[in-house]
Structure 1
């Protein structure tokens, strides 16, 4: 699977709240407002990409099972011992404190996968669906950066035996969004989902492929496979509505059966079997010949013995 990143620059805005209750209210209103006023787009792949924005927000894409680095930007050096990271998930209305005064919270369900970097950014490893949401970096009760993390994943409902010419494969590309963990219920998405070929051509509905949107956050590609589809690379990509591709994942189809049907490919016998088939009749003839000669000699000897007995 691959990854790519694109950044969208706008004027950074600041947001701060002085209490936990106010911060929850901030997330509820900010989540809907961010649809039209997101400042930056960032994909974290195998290597983190740094984007600087002094008091603003970051829309972050990463892949399910991967890692993400959540930046905490400040125009002045930060004392990480005063940093607090909070997490809010709108779909389930979850609000937790992940880091408090520079230390990862022991009661966090993410604690074993969290690390506070030397620049106060928050590293999250082995991302799962429940990690999608809004993260807020603040110091002394003042907001510094809001990070909105969405996760991209490819799944398939097809069985392994269908991976052969004539079979069908169904691939679903899903964005687990920070605001609704993949449901996209009742609100427009700030991105577009597409499937593309290896050379970047966007796939459309055709005679042997069908694109199905279950929601704006999930696009399924159903393809009738041919021989040339073996080891074919397909790309699911999420694109910002401002600056094009923001993130992508690649999928390579590998057939279970590599050979064509036996009617088209005659069976070729091994050399050893061919030699055996030729040698066996020859050996039978040789044995038969020597057996015949032996029987003939014994018959002559028997006849000679009988003549001697008659003479005596």
Structure 2
């Protein structure tokens, strides 16, 4: 029973420290992109870190996890292989993931109040790929999702407004994309601190970059660049014009190939007609010569044979 009361008391102290900031120590906000390494600061005034303890909470009411205890890294945590303690007792985390966001508190039992670091992780993905690069054919649409994983009390809108944090997309020239631009559809979600960008890819979008920025008090804290590689394939496009045979057929709708076929047909018919006429002329000439020959042969016989009178 006493152990349970002790845990409750520690929990109340931790919650009150988050709400009030013990000893006037300012809370630090650290913004980092997923996949990068981060250093969580701690201003240590001691010659070593043997009294340093780092504790992690994803949410205010979640169970606390001790990452570093009295300068020694705990091996029973999921992230222990990625953790290390700096010479100034800062906490180093390699290869940040979206699971690492939350509240990190550092305490030294012999040296002043606790310090609290809010870690915010910026992550970008797309509807076709989870990496920071995608390949898609021109003419298709792609949706990019930019989400800020953060500890927040209440809605994301309230937290962003209170900390003056802004999420927005920029092109590769650094120009902010506006919702009024008809090519882009930009939507925001107040529940999950997320902003989406949807666009239809053009041929000139090959290797184009879009970047999601997060700012606090008008200062860029982190950004993620997304590169689109457009898989433009060389295709032979043949224009086919459908021909519908109707009573009101418009000769202009026929294709050049059909015109060529008609010309060949006309030439063939003309050649055939010419051949028939030529054969007829040759036959008449032959017939006339044959008649003349018979008449000549008949005349010769009658002149040679004697005339017999009875």
TM-score bin, normalised by smaller chain: 0.5 to 0.7
TM-score scaled by structure 2? 0.64
Spell out the pairing of 1:242-253 with structure 2 (5 A cutoff): 242-253=217-228
Aligned to 1:170: 143
Whole-Å separation in 2 of the counterparts to 1:95 and 1:125: 21
Given the alignment, which residue of 89, 108, 114 partners 2:83? 114
How large is the Cα RMSD of the aligned pairs? 2.9
Deviation at 1:125? 1.4
What is the count of residue pairs matched by the alignment?
Answer: 222
Would you say 1:63 and 2:33 are equivalent positions? yes
- What does the per-residue CA deviation read over 1:229-257, in whole Å, with 9 as the maximum and x for residues that have no partner? 111111100011x23211111111111x2
- What does the per-residue CA deviation read over 1:168-224, in whole Å, with 9 as the maximum and x for residues that have no partner? 0100000000337xx945733231100001111110232221001123610000011
Secondary structure at the counterpart of residue 113 of structure 2 = strand
Given the alignment, which residue of 81, 87, 97 partners 2:66? 97
Which of these two proteins has the greater Rg computed from alpha carbons? 2
2:15–2:60 contact (8 Å) kept in structure 1: no
Q: Whose relative contact order is higher, 1 or 2, with alpha carbons under 8 Å and at least 6 apart?
A: 1
Q: Which sits farther off after the overlay, 23-32 or 81-90?
A: 23-32
Spell out the pairing of 1:240-279 with structure 2 (5 A cutoff): 240=216, 242-255=217-230, 257-263=231-237
Whole-Å separation in 2 of the counterparts to 1:94 and 1:185: 22
1:158–1:168 contact (8 Å) kept in structure 2: no
Given the alignment, which residue of 187, 211, 235 partners 2:158? 187
**Stretches of structure 2 lacking an aligned partner (at least 5 in a row):** 1-5, 239-310
Q: Which sits farther off after the overlay, 168-177 or 100-109?
A: 100-109
**Stretches of structure 1 lacking an aligned partner (at least 5 in a row):** 1-18, 35-53, 265-312
Deviation at 1:162? 7.5
Structure 1 residues 210, 92: closer, same or farther in 2, change over 3 A? farther
